[in-house]
Amino acid sequence: MRLRPPDVHCREAVELVTDYLEGSLTRRTRRAFEKHLRACDGCDAYLAQMRVIIDTTGSVGPEDLDAATLDGITELYRQFRTEDE
């Protein structure tokens, strides 16, 4: 019996973009993600935007940021995670 890939919703798709671009999704999750992209212009556009950002900025790691910038990004992430709960 073949398992059908689970449906992916927009919020989940946004959370999967980084793993997708890094090639670290399981085959099943990747298929579900790509199926969602084919049906959702908004998420497809978001993925395209992320690719442009990566191409434009290159790879930036924590060691490339000054302390104030790193603290600001960390705080934004914490706020995002708190809103999600």
- pLDDT exceeds cutoff 70 at 5: no
Report if pTM > 0.85: no
pLDDT > 70 in the chain, percent: 89
Average pLDDT of the segment spanning 1-18: 76
Structural element, H or E, at residue 23: none
How many domains does the chain contain in total?
1
**CATH code at 70?**
1.10.10
Does residue 78 form part of some domain?
Answer: yes
- pLDDT exceeds cutoff 60 at 63: yes
Does residue 5 form part of some domain?
Answer: no
Domain that holds residue 49: 10-84
79 burial level (CB within 10 Å; 0-12, 13-18, 19+): exposed
Q: Which tens digit of pLDDT belongs to each residue from 15-52?
A: 999 999 999 999 999 999 999 999 999 999 999 999 99
Across 47-63, b (16+ Cβ under 10 Å) vs e yields beeeeeeeeeeeeeeee
Q: What's the one-letter identity of residue 49? A: Q
Does residue 55 form part of some domain?
Answer: yes
Does residue 2 form part of some domain?
Answer: no
